[in-house]
A = this chain, B = another copy of it.
Amino acid sequence: MRPDVGVIGGMGPDAAILFLHTLTGMTKVASDQDHLDVELLQHCSIPDRTAYILDHTQPNPVVPILDDVRELNRRQVQVIAIPCNTAHFFFDEISAASEAPVLNMIDLTAAHVAELVPPGSSVGVLGTRGTISSGLYQHALEAVGLHALNPSEAVQHDVDTLIFDQVKANQPLDRDLYMSVLERTMQAGAQIALIGCTELSVPEHAFAHDYASVDALDVLARATIVRAGGTLKL
């Protein structure tokens, strides 16, 4: 059996599960058999990405990620998706190691945001300190004529709490804290909030709100379905 999609997950597990849930929910089907065949490598033991990006003496997560890339290629998947924004710090290395195309969630999301707001708009990027400090979205947004607005230290602190102390720690999600993060991002001048961490996609999917936002996880799910030959449920 040649699977349509390979997913490198576990970074963290809830994010990968939400990605699969979004993928199946966005696929037009009448029965099980119309869904894409997916293989998920949910290796939660992959070392923390942010810890390594901020301190290169920490264990390097790209080592097990490259093992997973080779495994999915051995299984002859048609396309690889990695529902972890921070892991895209290693994108060039990952892509070079893969025969199957690897979708770039960062570039796909920047291109999608450029369809939603006027050129020159400020985009409030919300993500881990690893994603922010590496300038992943800053570079991608500049390339499409947009301006990345990084979080203040106070907002980043609350983003860290949501990501590490709530989603990754299997604790209840604080709706008010998430709304406050979005509110302060807009107050700082963002025309739109970019949910640039798949852990933040968890509260983003759980809580309805009226802030303008785009979720990188949703962009990746849509792109995955189209590239793997599935039909989008529009």
Contact = CB atoms under 8 A, between A and B. Distances in A.
Nearest to A32: B12
Q: Kindly name the residue among A34, A36, A44 whose own CB sees the greatest number of chain B CB atoms within 10 A.
A: A44
A57 interface: no
A152 interface: no
Interface in A49-66: 64
A10 interface: yes
Given A1-B43, A39-B41, A45-B37, A168 B31 contact: yes
A111 interface: no
B48 A42 contact: no
Contact of A20 (B1, B12, B17): B17
A30 interface: yes
Nearest to A165: B30
A19 to B, nearest CB: 10
B1 A32 contact: no
Interface of A: 1, 3, 10-14, 17, 20-21, 24-25, 27-48, 64, 67, 71, 75, 164, 168-170, 233
